[in-house]
Amino acid sequence: MSSSRFPIPQGTLDMLILQIVSLEAMHGYGIAQRLEQISRSVVQVNQGSLYPALHRLEQKRWLRAEWKQSETGREAKFYALTASGREQLAAEKDDWARLVGAVQLIFNEGSGS
Partner 1 sequence: MKQLANWFRRQSLEASLDRELRYHLERRITDFEKAGLSPSEARRQAVLELGGIAQIREEVRDVWLTRWVRDFMYDLRFSVRSFLKTPTFTIISMLSLMLGVGATTAIYSLVDQVLLHALPVRHPERLVLIDWRGDQVANAFGSWNLMSYPICRDLDQQKEFFDGVFCRALTTVNLSTGADYYPARAEIVSGNYFLVLGVGATTGRVFA
The smaller minimum CB distance to partner 1, of residues 48 and 110, is found at 48
User: Does 22 sit near partner 1 (CB under 8 A)?
Assistant: no
* Residue 48 engages partner 1 in binding (rule: CB under 8 A): yes
Nearest CB to partner 1, comparing residues 16 and 27 = 27
**Residue 76 binding partner 1, by CB under 8 A:** yes
Q: Is 47 in the site for partner 1 (CB under 8 A)?
A: yes
Q: What are phi and psi of 94, to 5 degrees?
A: -60, -50
Instruction: Determine the 3-state secondary structure of 51 from DSSP.
Output: helix
Q: Least distance to partner 1 from the beta carbon of 78, Å?
A: 10
Strands (E), the chain: 6-7, 26-27, 43-44, 63-69, 75-81
Q: Least distance to partner 1 from the beta carbon of 108, Å?
A: 39
Identified binder of partner 1 from the candidate list 5, 34, 55, 64, rule CB under 8 A: 55
Instruction: Classify residue 73 as left (phi > 0), alpha (psi -120 to 50) or beta.
Output: left
User: Measured from the CB atom, is 16 or 28 closer to partner 1?
Assistant: 28
**85 exposure class (CB count in 10 Å sphere: 0-12, 13-18, 19+):** buried
